[in-house]
Structure 1
Amino acid sequence: MDFLKSAMASAIAQGPPFPYTFGDKVDVDASIWTLYNGTRRADGSNCSIFSFDVTANKARLPLAKNALKKLRTMRHPGVIRVLDTVETDTYIYIATERVVPLRWHVKRKSLSPETIKWGLYSIARTVKFINDEGSSIHGSLCVASIYTSEGGEWKLGGFEILSNVKDDEAVIYRYGSLVPDSARYTPPELARSGWDAIKKAPHSAVDAYNFGTTIFEVFNGDFMGADQTGQTKGIPPTMHAGYKRLVNANPKARITVGTFLEQGRRSGGFFDSSLIKLTEGIDNLGVKSESEREEFLEDLDQLSDDFPEDFFKMKVLPELLKSVEFGGGGPKAFGVVMKISTKLSSEDFEARVQPVVVRLFGNPDRAIRVCLLDNLPVMIDRLPQKVVNDKIFPNMVSGFTDVAPVVREQTLKSVLVIISKLSDRTINGELLRYLAKTANDEQPGIRTNTTICLGKIAKNLGTSSRAKVLIAAFTRSLRDPFMHARNAALMALAATCEYFSEEECAARILPVICPSLIDKEKLVRDQANKAMEIYLQRIRKAAADMPDTVQPPPQTTEGAGPRMSTPQPSEASSWAGWAISSFTNKLSAASGEMQTTNTPTPSSARAVSPSPGLDPSRRVTSTTSSASALHRQAVKSPSPAPPLSRNSTGSAAEAYFQDPDPAEDEGDAWGDMGDMDDDGNAFFDAPSEAAARPSKKVVEAAASPTSFDDGSEPDFAGWLAAQAQKKSGPGGGKPLPKGLTKSSTANGKGSTTTTAKKPLVTRSASKPVVAKKIDTKPKETDDDDGWGDGW
């Protein structure tokens, strides 16, 4: 083989220039030609080279020269296309389009019945052209003289004895018997009388008989001789009648190939197929009217998978792409392109379809854009990431802001298809900005789909901003008036639970899910319960791994400040009881004792006598006093105080209520919690009541006209006391609830003045406290027991 190639190379070097390179040798049937695969040096395109060695086969040189001449002059789509030829005294080279012998496909039985019909139809048209328009006879028609192109089309060759019937010295009469294997295919009349018998019968009779034997071969394999003539094994029933008339032993009774072609093209005939219609209409698709083009594309779209892939790739696909891009083929043509492209290899798709797809995304036609987006799942795996991210996506985003809702919605849905092909920068930058717009779209369906889209692409979002983006988007959708948008938000939250921290689940997500539990729509309520359960399980699992406390262990060193004790198991049932007990423990560690005695008064008011060491000049904290202030007051050594003057009542009250260490630890106040003791009183009621009567002098000062008053609200507690007295009269009545009874003192006139339990407020020392008269007469009311309604 290498020797043969080197010999050819040296022969070419000595002869005329031949700008083609020989490749592998192709096995063919018995032929005067040697077939090689070749390439064109200028552009590397594929070709085939038919080579004839003159020195090795001089007897058949006339056949080679006749084939060279006829191939140069015969121009027809069904004839092998010649690219270049070289003829010398030692060799003849014919460079043609890349072809493969049809015998290869017949031996492998790789041709479907529809493809065979389509091929026979093409050969029949070519033979008809030779017989009728060319007034010629092919003379050696058989499977060995037929080739298939790269596009799968059947091409006719074997022009060694092709002759014009008007030429009396035609090659066919003299050299017809020199064609290899001619004895197998020679018609009966020629086998009996020689090749001159052609002149006595219709000139088309030879080709008609040989076309019949070719039909037998392509359906059954090799035609071995006249014994098989007329057998219909393997041939479609619709062809039986025409086939038998083609191989009739009487040449004058045979029908022509043209007649056979017309019979097959009739409605319901064997050549009446959508594949054949396609081949006839594809060449002039660009010049068809709109209705003709629609009908053609409809037939094309209905084609089954039983069609020649090579033909669609090389012939149909380029024409359809041109029609989509320039000829008005529209979405229908592009749909057929996608159907064909599924059969293409990745290399063919990249070379033939990808450039057109990229250009089409820049087309402003909405119908084309929607068609591209609909077919994006079919081709996304074939498109490189760089092409999608740098070329397709920048053009695609214009659909997010298009005025047509269908374009916006299809663009949004396509995000799920291309997300794997986008860079992190594109996803977390430009894409999220456009999704923020569609999340506020006027169309509720687009808003809903945006939520679904975000939930499905959550794994592709950047970890630094993912939780923030998703929580903001989903919580907004939970307030959407569209029911399905709210439902989608809940489903998305349930699906993306893993992307949030436990703190975010508890503090930011569960609170916004709770209102959906009582949504007006049952669909939303059910989904809210499912989402709630998912997040609760997540939080419970996280809480189970947390320590019981993060507080440091209690200090046991004497002299250290008192600390809140750890609740005992028995105290766990009541948080209020735990708070009171811990506060009691804290006070028990203080020095000194606090004793409470009940001093009877005319109104049975409760009073607390001061401890022996307690200085009356110090203020006793009110209900709003802090625990730390009480502790400080309990443990601090009493200091001497100047005696109170009986005549300086206002200044004495000021001195009494003045805080010696004002507002030092107000930030530690727990009194604001409003805890209640066992009697229903405020948590710090007892200390404030103890401040009511520290001494006789103080009692007199409180009962005097200059007693302390905050000057704010009316004496509501006094009104309550009057109500209780009224009800306890002759008609009987209900006593006030425990804790609402107020202490009272008798004034000089024998009347009763009720002192309300008001928080004591420290006044400025420069401003005397002026008491004002308070009318304790109860207001008129229709409901004697209706005070609770006021709360």
Structure 2
Amino acid sequence: MDFLKSAVASAISKGPPFPYTFGDRVDVDRSIWSLYNGTKKEDGSNCSIFSFEINDSTRSRLPLARNALRKLRTLRHPGVVRIIDSVETDAYIHIATERVTPLSWYIRREALNTETIKWGLHSTAITLKFINEEAASIHGNIRASSIYTAESGEWKLAGFEVLSSMKDDDPVTYKFGGLLPDSGRYAAPEVVKGGWDALRNQPIHAADSWNFGTLIYEVFNAGAFTNSEQLAQAKRIAPNMVPSYKRLIQQNPKTRLSVAHFLDQGSRSRAFFDTPLIHVAQFVENMGVKNQKEREEFLRELEETGDQFPEDFFKAKILPELLKSVEFGGGGPKVFSVVLKIGEKLSDEEWESNITPCIARLFSIPDRATRVFLLDNLPKMIGHLSNKVVNDKVFPEMLTGFSDVAPIVREQTVKAVLVIVPKLSDRNVNGDLLKYLAKTQNDEQPGIRTNTTICLGKIARNLGPNTRQKVLTAAFTRALRDPFVHARNAALLALAATADVFDENDCAARLLPAITPSLVDKEKLVRAQANKTLEVFLQRIKALTANYPDTAMPNPAATDSGAAAPRMGTAQTDESSWAGWAISSFTKKLSAASGEIERAASPGGLGSEPRPASAPIAAAQTRPGLSAEVRTTSTLALQRKALSPTTPARTNFLGDEDNEDNDPDAWGDLDEDKFFDALDSSGSTKSKPTNTESFSEWGEPDIASMANKSKNPLPKGLTRKPTAPRIGVVNAPSNVKGSVAAARKPLNKSMGMKPIVAGTKTTPAPVAKVEVKADAWDDDADGWGDGWDI
């Protein structure tokens, strides 16, 4: 093989330039030619090269090679091997043709079914009829080795070594017919008896009809033809073809059926050439002039007989014609469905070169039927489309479907997102795609809104990490409020499927509050799914917080040993003592409780005039003659007398409508930061009042209130006077909305309040009448105050 290639290359180098490269040699039986697969140097396109080396052993057959080259140049027909280029020197003859394969290869492997054989014989009969009748010539070499299959799968006729016109002065057939390989085995009976000159007195078709009969026998019986006696046994020849076949092999050339008549008999209704495969092949060649009804019939037959066609015929012959019909002939979706069926047999390179350009152009066509068909069949095409084609040509045209006035187009566009999103760039996914999906989630059609939610759930992991949680949280929480039951259910399903993309903060703060209303949905379908989704998120939160530390407070052991660090107690876990104090923030060591408890200044030193309970008290003035023990005893006695049991005890927590200190909302007034403050630098602590009813809201003893509630005479130095209402607090009925909140309002800055200095007399300031409105706190954005109606 290598030696032959080098010899061919050496011969070419000595002759005129031949712009083709020789490839692998293809074996051909009983032929004067050596066949090679070749490529064109200019563009690398495929071709075949028939080569005839001129030497002493082959010089006798040189007239056959030259005649074949001359006839290939002059005889042009669709059923004849197409010549591209040729070169002839004293050393060789090279003929470059379209890429072909010997038919004998398929015959030996029995790779041809009956319908394909009929289609090939039909094509060869048409070509041979043209040679015998229109060209008035004798082929003289009809056999399996003279027929080749093109890249389209069609049978092409060659072997023109003795082809000659009867109008020539000295036809080559009569002169050199005996030089053909195996000429005696394939010769007609009259040639065997009288030589090739015997054909001069016979009809033009006589020799070719006989050889066409031998060809039929070869292709149906896998080439098992050795002598003419075998022809009488039809064996595996199609039964409806046998009567006409026997007339082709008649011994008498005068009664022998011509190929043209054989073709006519086979083309009749229900005859052997009346097959869907042959009809489709004929229709494809004239598809551009057929009407709509004829096209539909053609497509029906094509779908029925698609498996009978050679794959190469689909690729090279039918597919280009169908694509032309789709784009320019108004073939529409029905024709394109056949294109996709053929495309399943194509390689990626063949798909990209043949179908991809057509798909890109079809997406730009403003025809809704075509667009819906393309979107429905996108799963069949997406695997063959490159990322560049999808992002640059398909996706920009596909975006117009999101805003189309036809709901079917919008819905199919949303569904097609799942197919196309793996090939989209991050910019397209997180940009234009999300923008249009936000519109379809507010679509007027509930089905489109539902499908949009499903789509977002399935493409969640294709979204960018920076936008994923934000977009999905907003989309799913919106869908949970959709009036369409299936939209709400789809939101719950999507949340359960994408729970792993949310962090613990979004799960707890945003998604769980949005899911819980669905637990009481009017539809059982939604309620059931809400329970499942809620459980998924609870498990998600537990998993995310499993490694959290027990507390975020600093470790007391890490503080400086020299500093007075507060001791934090351990929370009580006993369920029976749930009302006990949870934590003690103050140390109980006696060494830290040193010093004296500061007592309030005596009211007697402030004058006889009453003052508001909330007025600031001046610095404590102690009498110089009394010891600390006496002062402390006097103060405690005063407090015991004020809290004497003569005042009836109140058993109902909310029963005293005049006591604003019983307001349960007052728990919200506690300043948690101050409530849990540690000791100051001096180590002193603030005394805790034993009865909250005896102290004002600002932490001072309300002496006037205690005096009014006790029937015992007041201690010396105190007089009973009408008690002015405390500034900023009004005893409003507890059933008035907003009264409790009004009592908690801070003091108005316009109300003057000056400290009282000991030893001076002050004139009581007129008390301003405060008017409380029921809606004093209606500006609360959350509206929490409205929920506390007492």
Structures share fold, TM-score greater than 0.5: yes
Report if aligned partners of 1:51, 1:91 keep a CA contact under 8 Å in 2: yes
Identify the residue that residue 209 of structure 1 maps to in structure 2. Answer: 210
User: For residue 463 of structure 1, what is the aligned residue in structure 2?
Assistant: 465
1:704, distance to aligned residue in structure 2 (A): 4.2
Query: In 1, distance between residues paired with 2:197 and 2:301?
Result: 48
1:338 shift after superposition: 1.8
Aligned equivalents of 1:699, 1:306: Cα separation in 2: 124
- Partner amino acid, structure 2, of 1:178: L
Note if 1:188 corresponds to 2:146: no
CA change 1:268–1:700 in 2 (3 A) is farther
- Rounded Cα–Cα distance in structure 2 between residues aligned with 1:658 and 1:475: 53
Find the counterpart in structure 2 of residue 169 from structure 1. 170
Partner of 2:369: 367
Q: What code does the residue aligned with 2:343 have?
A: S
- Hey, what does 2:604 align to over in structure 1? 643
2:267 to 248, 265, 285: 265
Counterpart AA for 2:416 = S
Residue matched to 2:761:
none
Deviation at 1:683, TM superposition (A): 9.6
Which AA in structure 1 matches 2:227? G
CA–CA distance in structure 2, aligned partners of residues 761 and 409 of structure 1: 58
**Given that residues 694 and 706 in structure 2 are in contact (C-alpha distance below 8 angstroms), is that contact kept between their aligned partners in structure 1?**
no
Q: Secondary structure at the match of 2:706?
A: coil
CA gap 1:655/1:84 in 2 versus in 1, 3 angstroms? closer
Q: Deviations 1:697-753 (Å, cap 9, x if unpaired)?
A: 48998964455467976775999xxxxxxxxxxxxxxxxxxxxxxxxxxxxxxxxxx
Structure 2 partner of 1:38: 38
State the TM-score, normalized to the length of structure 2. Answer: 0.77
Corresponding position of 2:146? 145
Q: Is the Cα–Cα contact under 8 Å of residues 451 and 474 in structure 1 kept in the other structure?
A: yes
Distance of aligned partners of 1:40 and 1:717 in 2 relative to their CA distance in 1, 3 Å threshold: closer
Query: Contact conserved, 2:614 with 2:726, CA < 8 A, in 1?
Result: no
By how many angstroms is 1:343 displaced?
1.1
**Structure 2 partner of 1:569:** 573
The answer to whether the 8 A contact 2:363-2:397 is kept is yes
* CA pair 339-697 structure 1, distance change in 2 beyond 3 A: same
**Contact 1:26–1:37, Cα closer than 8 Å, also in 2:** yes
| Correspondence 1:3-152 to 2 at 5 A | 4-9=4-9, 11-12=11-12, 15-56=15-56, 57-152=58-153
- State the one-letter code of the partner of 1:540: K
Letter in 2 for 1:653: R
Distance 1:116 1:275 in 2: 11
Between stretches 548-557 and 468-477, larger displacement belongs to 548-557
Q: Whole-Å Cα distance in 2 between the matches of residues 697 and 7 of structure 1?
A: 139
Q: CA deviation at 1:67?
A: 2.0
Task: State yes or no: 1:435 paired with 2:448.
Answer: no
Match of 1:238 among 237, 240, 245: 240
CA contact (8 A) 1:135 1:164 kept: yes
What's the secondary structure of 2:23's corresponding residue?
strand
From the superposition, tell whether residues 711 and 667 of structure 1 become closer, same or farther in structure 2 (CA, over 3 Å). closer
Kindly tell me: are residues 659 and 532 of structure 1, through their superposed partners in 2, closer, same or farther at Cα, counting changes over 3 Å?
farther
Question: Residue 308 of structure 1: CA displacement?
Answer: 1.0
Residue identity opposite 1:142 in structure 2: R
Change beyond 3 A, Cα 1:559–1:184: closer
Query: Retained in 1: the 8 A contact 2:343–2:351?
Result: yes
> Is the 2:608–2:719 Cα contact (8 Å) retained in structure 1?
no
Q: Contact between 1:562 and 1:589, CA under 8 Å: does it hold in 2?
A: no
Q: Note the alpha carbon deviations across 1:597-644, whole angstroms, 9 max, x for none.
A: xxxxxxxxxxxxxxxxxxxxxxxxxxxxxxxxxx9xx98411543516
Moved more, 218-227 or 404-413: 404-413
Report the alpha carbon displacement of residue 421 of structure 1 after superposing the two structures with TM.
1.4
User: CA-to-partner distance for each residue in 1:144-172, whole Å, 9 max, x for gaps?
Assistant: 11011111110011112223345573222
Q: Deviations over 1:331-382 (max 9, x none)?
A: 2222222221221122222222223333333333333333332332222222
When residues 177 and 637 of structure 1 are mapped into structure 2, their CA distance, relative to the original with a 3 A threshold, is: same
Q: Spell out the pairing of 1:511-590 with structure 2 (5 A cutoff).
A: 511-552=513-554, 565-570=569-574, 572-573=575-576, 575=578, 577-579=579-581
Structure 1 stretches of 5 or more lacking a match? 593-630, 672-681, 720-757, 773-788
1:399 Cα deviation (Å)? 2.3
For residue 390 of structure 1, report the CA deviation from its aligned partner.
Answer: 3.1
CA distance in 2, matches of 1:174, 1:272: 40
Distance 2:389 2:130 in 1: 48
Q: Structure 2 vs 1, CA of residues 93 and 542 (structure 1 numbering), >3 Å: closer, same or farther?
A: closer
> Structure 2 matches for 1:680-699, cutoff 5 A?
684-685=692-693, 692-693=705-706, 696-697=713-714
Summarize deviations over 1:157-199 as a string: whole Å, max 9, x none: 1112223345573222232222111222222333233334434
Partners of 2:562 and 2:695 lie apart in 1 by 27
Question: 1:450 aligned to 452, 455, 464, which one?
Answer: 452
Structure 2 contact 86–94 (Cα < 8 Å) conserved: yes
1:121 Cα shift?
Answer: 1.3
**C-alpha displacement at 1:59, in angstroms?**
2.3
Q: Is the 8 A contact 1:705 1:771 kept in 2?
A: no
**Conserved? CA contact 1:708–1:769, under 8 Å:** no
Cα offset, 1:478, TM superposition: 0.8
Which consecutive unaligned segments of at least 5 residues does structure 2 have?
Answer: 620-668, 676-689, 737-742, 755-763, 770-787
Name 2:421's counterpart in structure 1: 419
Which amino acid counterpart does residue 149 of structure 1 have in structure 2?
A: A
Measured in 1, the distance between the counterparts of 2:519 and 2:335 equals 51
Identity %: 56
3-state SS, counterpart of residue 373 of structure 2: helix
- Does structure 1 residue 378 correspond to structure 2 residue 377? no
Q: How far did 1:283 drift? A: 2.3
Deviations along 1:195-229, one digit per CA (max 9) or x if unpaired, are 34434544323222222221221122221111211
The aligned residue for residue 610 of structure 1 is none
What is the distance in 2 between the residues matched to 1:493 and 1:262?
Answer: 70
* Shift in alpha-carbon separation, 1:659–1:123, aligned structure 2, 3 A: farther
1:295 lines up with 2:297 in the alignment: yes
Q: Is the 1:494–1:534 contact (alpha carbons within 8 Å) kept by the matching residues of 2?
A: yes
The 10-residue stretch of structure 1 (148-157 or 368-377) with the greater mean CA deviation from structure 2: 368-377
The code of the aligned residue for 1:83 comes to I
1:28 is aligned with what amino acid? V
Residues 653 and 708, structure 1, Cα contact 8 Å, conserved in 2: no
> CA offset at residue 687 of structure 1?
5.4
From 608, 611, 619, the counterpart of 1:653 = 611
Q: Distance between the aligned counterparts of 1:644 and 1:43, measured in 2?
A: 117
Distance 2:74 2:615 in 1: 128
- Mapped contact 2:277–2:309 kept (Cα < 8 A): yes
- Residues 62-102 of structure 1: CA deviation (Å, up to 9, x unaligned): 32233223222222111111223334444333222121111
CA contact (8 A) 2:608 2:718 kept: no
Task: For 2:31 and 2:156, locate their aligned partners in 1 and report how far apart those are by CA, in whole Å.
Answer: 17
Check the 8 A contact 2:460/2:468 in 1, yes or no. yes
Distance 1:499 1:718 in 2: 48
Identify if the C-alpha distance between structure 1 residues 549 and 134 changes in structure 2 by more than 3 Å, giving closer, same or farther: same
